[in-house]
Amino acid sequence: MSFDLAARLAARRAENLYRQRPLLESPQGPQVVVDGQPLLAFCNNDYLGLANHPQVIEAWRAGASKWGVGGGASHLVIGHSGPHHALEEALADLTGRPRALLFTTGYMANLGAVTALVGQGDTVLEDRLNHASLLDAGLLSGARFNRYLHNDAVSLAKRLEKATGNTLVVTDGVFSMDGDIADLPALAREAKAKGAWLMVDDAHGFGPLGANGGGIVEHFGLSQDEVPVLVGTLGKAFGTAGAFVAGSEELIESLIQFARPYIYTTSQPPALACATLKSLELLRSEHWRREHLKTLISQFRRGAEQIGLELMDSFTPIQPIMVGDAGRAVRLSQMLRERGLMVTAIRPPTVPAGSARLRVTLTAAHSEAQVQLLLEGLADCFQQLGPEPSHA
């Protein structure tokens, strides 16, 4: 008996679901070089345009000169350095919470938080469109795992009725493939009524949302009492890498004791924490970045609706264009690329079958002229491809 990997790969190709890694040959930004081709990119998550910011680069350089390159050990051995600690304090301040805990990736933060808080005999309830890392965390926790209908507090309430043990309700803040936001006030009400805790992964909300970039919790004006567990990633609007969990003294101490992905991994490079401290400062002080981004989002939505494209209900930088068929989405992406525009086709299993889409992401580094170029390219490509053939 052997693994027939060739057959699995061939089947994936036949279904138009085969993925390949584009090779980026330039720093992140609107103007990139991918596979040797200069392109105008609308597919990264660098929402505030900080990934290649000169001050952030300089902070990393200065951090490396002072602190070296590697973390050297896990946080609990000798890997927890001054910059890590300073960044945790700054993130606690951003979120208005007593403590924050730094993780090496968003995947690890979600895995660490869920598996440390619930286990056998407990319940974890998740939005069915949650990020893969949250779903994996729920399954790996050993708790009774169930998914409620997308962003549906009534569906959540029904599942809470049957919950046993400690119950954790888990949702994305901004849903990464649809761009819509969780109805946190309603979810928090249902969770609180049943004594459950609400955990929010606001990977795509920190930076673009909230008056000071504090994300969805700031956007809705919710307290730690309503959202006890708040997760954010640093590789998107912060422009660097890593993640954090913010919450009470007891929550953070519990994660330090029980979160295996935190305990058993080397800390991130201290110089990276230095860079993130600088990007956090820019995220909080340069309000024009959020304002410009809002202008671009409005411009894009107006233009796309005039062309007659099917958008989703999103006021965030994630602006998916619904296509439906995976092969058609790939073809549109290729046609745009031939015109010098990079927009990724998102296909199953990342999104449900029949809901393939072009996922446009806008950043504060884009200009209105560049968004106009994108709209013109989309109008031409959709017109050239023509309407989707009927399956009647």
Alpha carbon distances (Å) from 326 to 95, 100, 222, 333, 335: 39, 40, 39, 11, 14
367 is in an annotated binding site: no
366 is in an annotated binding site: no
Q: How far apart are CA 257 and CA 238, in angstroms?
A: 27
29 is in an annotated binding site: no
Strands lying side by side in the sheet with 31-34: 31-34, 37-41, 341-342
Residue entry with tokens 């992401």: 361
- Find out whether 205 and 174 touch, Cβ atoms under 8 Å: yes
Provide the angle, in degrees to the nearest 10, between the axes of the packed helices 288-307 and 368-385: 20
Query: 246 forms bridges with which residues in the sheet?
Result: 100, 230
295 is in an annotated binding site: no
Q: How far apart are CA 133 and CA 127, in angstroms?
A: 12
- Find out whether 116 and 258 touch, Cβ atoms under 8 Å: yes
107 is in an annotated binding site: yes
Q: How far apart are CA 319 and CA 148, in angstroms?
A: 24
Query: Where is 216: in which H helix or E strand?
Result: helix 215-220
CB within 8 Å of 16: residues ≥ 6 apart: 326, 327, 330, 347
Active site positions, annotated:
176, 204, 236
- Find out whether 297 and 315 touch, Cβ atoms under 8 Å: yes
CB within 8 Å of 378: residues ≥ 6 apart: 304, 307, 309, 321, 336
How buried is 96 (Cβ within 10 angstroms: 0-12 exposed, 13-18 middle, 19+ buried)? middle
Alpha carbon distances (Å) from 160 to 121, 227, 348: 14, 16, 29
171 is in an annotated binding site: no
- Find out whether 184 and 200 touch, Cβ atoms under 8 Å: yes
Phi-psi map region of 16: left, alpha, beta (phi>0 left; psi -120 to 50 alpha): left
85 is in an annotated binding site: no
Binding residues: 19, 106-107, 131, 176, 204, 233, 350
Q: Which residues are annotated as a binding site for pyridoxal 5'-phosphate?
A: 106-107, 176, 204, 233
- Residue numbers in the known binding site for substrate are 19, 131, 350
